[in-house]
Chains A and B, each alone.
Chain A
Amino acid sequence: MAKGDHLGEFEQLILAALLILGPDAYGMTIHERAEKLAAGIRSVSLGSVYTTLDRLEQKGYVKSWFSDPTPERGGRSKRFFEITGSGEVALKNSVRLTGNVLAGLREIGGLA
């Protein structure tokens, strides 16, 4: 795994939300799910969700497409997101790394 493939904390959160949501992942649902996952730890704004999704798309971890405009959204289209294969691999590696750190800390009783 190259150095640039590491995920930040927020990227990890967004990719996890995408994986949980599956085909129903668009801006607002991702925002809600990320807020639930990060409840009590950090706040999540819709703007940061979109900028992170853009960054993840540039890295090739996420792909997106636009739906048809709907009247309940004021004639605007939804932007759906989906995690790619490389995104899943990056998330798994990132979670594994966190798991290793956690296990190491538990061994020395660092986290009660």
Chain B
Amino acid sequence: VILTRRIDSVTHPVIEFLQRFEPQSSDGIVVRLKLAVPLALGGLVLLVTLPLWMAWLAFLLRFRPKLNQRTTQEHLAPPPNAEFLFFLFLDHANCDALVGDLEERYRLIHQKFGQWRADFWYWTQALRSVGPILSAGAKKIAMKPFIGLIGWAVMKGLWGDATCSAALVKLWKRVLS
């Protein structure tokens, strides 16, 4: 109900706006617009979140099947959404090792204290671990354009352009000499 109201609240002004240009519009056009606008909005949301859906699909196809290899303790599976966090932000080998470590401990907690506590522990570990993984990844990514920028400045300076980069290179050479 809330979703329908929200869609209505978004579509209603749009329809009113469009009707200004179509004063003779019949109910048919309004109905078509009422369908078209939510569909377009839905499509847009789907398009924006497409990389996430693709990653989820890859997770299900490549990573998750390993869980199905279990035969004896199938019910002791950690929450898949928490695993997906690691799949998103880690390379495959590290993800495999880290999730394996967590799953090993998850089973012990599950057997001792039950599923609720094990799930809580798993989610806590997942959320605490994502921060450092993200910041390490961001540092790596941020360094690349920075190094590229320095490289570009040095190269441009070496080719003798009368720019500030050339002045920087001259200054650097003076410092070195």
Contacts and interface: CB of A to CB of B under 8 A. Distances in A.
Interface string B128-148: 111111001000000000000
Contacts of B131: 45, 47
Contact of B97 (A27, A43, A45, A72): A27
Contact of A73 (B72, B100, B128, B129): B100
A79 B97 contact: yes
B69 A74 contact: yes
Main secondary structure of the interface of B (DSSP, over half): helix
A75 B98 contact: no
A4 B100 CA distance: 33
A74 B66 contact: yes
Main secondary structure of the interface of A (DSSP, over half): helix
Contact of B70 (A45, A48, A50, A71): A71
Q: How large is the interface on A (under 10, 10 to 19, 20 to 34, 35 or more residues)?
A: 20 to 34
A28 B101 contact: yes
A77 interface: yes
B119 interface: no
Interface stretch (B1-9, B18-26, B103-111): B103-111
B30 interface: no
A45 B128 contact: yes
Given A26-B97, A45-B128, A75-B69, 20 more contacts: A28-B101, A46-B101, A46-B102, A46-B128, A48-B129, A50-B90, A50-B129, A51-B132, A51-B133, A51-B136, A54-B94, A69-B66, A73-B103, A74-B66, A74-B100, A76-B97, A76-B103, A78-B100, A79-B93, A79-B94
Interface of B: 66-67, 69-72, 77, 90, 93-94, 96-105, 107, 125, 128-133, 136
Interface of A: 26-28, 31, 43, 45-48, 50-51, 54-55, 66, 69, 71-79
